[in-house]
Chains A and B, each alone.
Chain A
Amino acid sequence: MLAASHLTLRIGRRRILDDVDFEARAGAVTAIVGPNGSGKTTLLRALTGEGAAEGRITLNGIDIAAARPARLAAVRAVLPQATPLAFPFLVAEVVRLGQRAGLSAADPGLAERALSAVGLQGLAARPYQELSGGEQQRVQLARVLAQVWQPVGPEGPHWLFLDEPVASLDIAHQLQVMRLARGYADAGGGVVAVMHDLNLTAMFADRVALLAGGRVLAAGRVSEVLTDTHLSQAYGCALRVGVLPAQGPYILPQAAGAA
């Protein structure tokens, strides 16, 4: 269980987060959506103990603000939007950096399995810097997975915090990564993801928090939150849910695999 109450974060005089309450349960995928600059990434950072927000956050009952980094690292892993890499590490070495931070540090074949899970089997010995942007993002996901490989640990569920995990991926890999997140939640782990793609959110999330202007506009089940009214208000343009365009091709992830 992740519970945050009354989160407020100011930068200068501007409130990036304004009295935000947020909840996520293990066994579910919880998405954070909203327009650019609505505070999605800031909220995710606050939930992972990065940046000093006012308010109280507990993860599996651990007070985030007071916990040592190593204690939290054993319970949850965080995938940032972009990860710079300073030195010429190999792909498998990057994944092992994550693995060594978690509870499965001694498993010799784990890096290979984590790479297979994100569709990068066979790239273990390649220099990380030679991969494409989308491949690098999936290596980082493998690193994060390797840190909390077991969805449930000795002290309760493990958690994945993902900041736009599918942003730089093609549609096939978007689906692959979202299925991975879904599977992690189905196996008892918790997943909190900042999402831009509303279709993928509708497909894979159990619960959604819709942010606008640093506040929670709506939170709850997907069908309750992703409505014409909420979305139009949050994004500032008239949006219709479940309405097909009159003409022109359109490609929906929901239709992938349907013959």
Chain B
Amino acid sequence: MVALMRPDVAPQGDRSARARQATVVLFACLALVAALSLGTGASGVSLVDLAAGWLRGEAMAARDRVVLFDIRLPRLAMGMLVGAALAVSGALMQGLFRNPLADPGLVGVGAGAGLGAVLAIVLGGLLPAGLAAALGQYLVPAAAFLAGWAATLLLYAVSSRQGRTSVATMLLAGIALGALSGAATGILIYLADDRQLRDLTFWGLGSLGGASWQKIALAAPLILPVLLLSPLLARGLNGLALGEAAALHMGVEVERVKRLAILSVAAATGAAVAVSGGIGFIGIVVPHLLRLASGPDHRYLLPNAALLGAALLVGADMVARLVVAPAELPIGIVTAVLGAPVFLFILLRSRGILDL
């Protein structure tokens, strides 16, 4: 990472080779963090011991098998999915709004998705029994997805005039949306019973602690297509960096790119928030670090954001599990503690941002 951050520049003003190197380095980082994450945990089961046992031809103990395949592996997979989803959503949203400060968590989309989930938790019981049974465990993620999508659309409509998106309006609208969903959540808390209150509290803190293969099966169909297909939007987002008119004249189907980007952000953020609650700063810090390291070209930014987001969140989860073991910190606290200073540092050293 340190080598990647050096702001020196290739002679011809072409950073694509560096961005491709970054992809390789990030892939290696993710593999390393993933291996470390699989090997650490409150149970003390060590990957090295397991590997040694496997090499000696011993069968794995039932307890070790449960720890590895039903606790650590789903948690790792969910951390990678959620981290990648948040980082790619951030990059997409920043490209769409043409602003490096746009982030699904910062501008109210996360809050909208959270409100949808809270609504489903507290009022889900009021649904007709047939419908509730049909939706089953899909109810909460579906509500988070729809509410996140609605919040994204509302935000975009409020802050765009004649093809220009006002950043100030966007941030203020995000604050209003956040306040509104806060108030609505307050009402729901007032209405909730004890069990629902416990669910709600877990939700707000954000955690990978509830990871299970079922939750992954819910989130993956929404997140994976966004991760795999988002590079198709790269050319359009690069064009949009010069404004909508310039993008149009460079052959970009502007309205289609905007619609697909909004849909992708709503799907990925909605699914991530649905399974892991509110986890901040990944969406804003990851794309920013990558732009510093290898430039803003979305052809490389989007896949690299997925890799770095996954690696960072898995790393943060490891910290969350280890600092107060055998208990664990909510991961939202870890990402905020690590992310907020980075964010402030970015604000301090990027003069350009002050002009926005």
Is A83 among interface residues, defined by CB-CB distance under 8 A?
yes
Known contacts A89-B241, A93-B297, A97-B238; is A70 also within 8 Å of B251 by CB?
yes
| Interface segment out of the listed B7-15, B109-117, B118-126 | B7-15
Please give the distance in Å from A81's CB to the nearest CB on chain B: 10
Please give the distance in Å from A125's CB to the nearest CB on chain B: 4
A-contact bits for B94-132, CB 8 A (1 contact / 0 none) = 010011100000000000000000000000000000000
B-contact bits for A111-142, CB 8 A (1 contact / 0 none) = 11000000000001110010000000000000
User: In the docked arrangement, what's the CA distance between A85 and B12, Å?
Assistant: 20
Residues on A with C-beta less than 8 A from B254 are: 69
A91: nearest chain-B partner, CB-CB: B13
Is A35 among interface residues, defined by CB-CB distance under 8 A?
no
| Interface segment out of the listed B38-46, B82-90, B216-224, B242-250 | B242-250
Is A147 among interface residues, defined by CB-CB distance under 8 A?
yes
A70: nearest chain-B partner, CB-CB: B251
Residues on A with C-beta less than 8 A from B10 are: 125
B249 touches A78 (CB 8 A): yes
A-contact bits for B28-67, CB 8 A (1 contact / 0 none) = 0000000000000000000000000000000000000000
A98 touches B12 (CB 8 A): no
A86 touches B98 (CB 8 A): yes
B352 touches A129 (CB 8 A): yes
Please give the distance in Å from A76's CB to the nearest CB on chain B: 8
Residues on A with C-beta less than 8 A from B248 are: 49-50, 69
User: In the docked arrangement, what's the CA distance between A77 and B248, Å?
Assistant: 10
B296 touches A88 (CB 8 A): yes
Most chain B CB neighbours (cut-off 10 Å) among A45, A72, A84:
A84
B98 touches A84 (CB 8 A): yes
Is B295 among interface residues, defined by CB-CB distance under 8 A?
yes
Is A20 among interface residues, defined by CB-CB distance under 8 A?
no
Is A250 among interface residues, defined by CB-CB distance under 8 A?
no
A80 touches B253 (CB 8 A): no
Is A73 among interface residues, defined by CB-CB distance under 8 A?
yes
* A-B pairs under 8 A by CB, number: 99
User: In the docked arrangement, what's the CA distance between A69 and B254, Å?
Assistant: 9
Interface size class of A (residues with CB under 8 A): 35 or more
B167: nearest chain-A partner, CB-CB: A86
Most chain A CB neighbours (cut-off 10 Å) among B95, B240, B242, B249:
B249
Residues on A with C-beta less than 8 A from B240 are: 86
Known contacts A125-B9, A125-B11, A125-B12; is A93 also within 8 Å of B295 by CB?
yes
Residues on B with C-beta less than 8 A from A74 are: 251
Most chain A CB neighbours (cut-off 10 Å) among B11, B95, B246, B248:
B246
User: In the docked arrangement, what's the CA distance between A74 and B352, Å?
Assistant: 33
User: In the docked arrangement, what's the CA distance between A74 and B251, Å?
Assistant: 8
Residues on A with C-beta less than 8 A from B100 are: 86-87
Residues on B with C-beta less than 8 A from A111 are: 12-13
A87 touches B291 (CB 8 A): yes
Known: A69-B253, A86-B100; 5 extra A-B contacts, CB below 8 A, are A68-B251, A86-B95, A86-B242, A92-B13, A101-B250
Could you pull out 15 A-B pairs where Cβ atoms are within 8 angstroms? A48-B249, A68-B251, A69-B248, A69-B249, A69-B253, A72-B249, A73-B251, A77-B250, A84-B98, A86-B100, A89-B296, A96-B14, A101-B239, A101-B251, A111-B12
| Interface residues of B, Cβ cutoff 8 Å to A | 9-15, 95, 98-100, 235, 238-243, 245-246, 248-254, 291, 295-297, 352
Q: List the 10 closest pairs (A to B, CB-CB), nearest first.
A: A92-B13, A73-B251, A87-B296, A86-B98, A101-B250, A124-B13, A125-B13, A70-B251, A78-B249, A90-B13
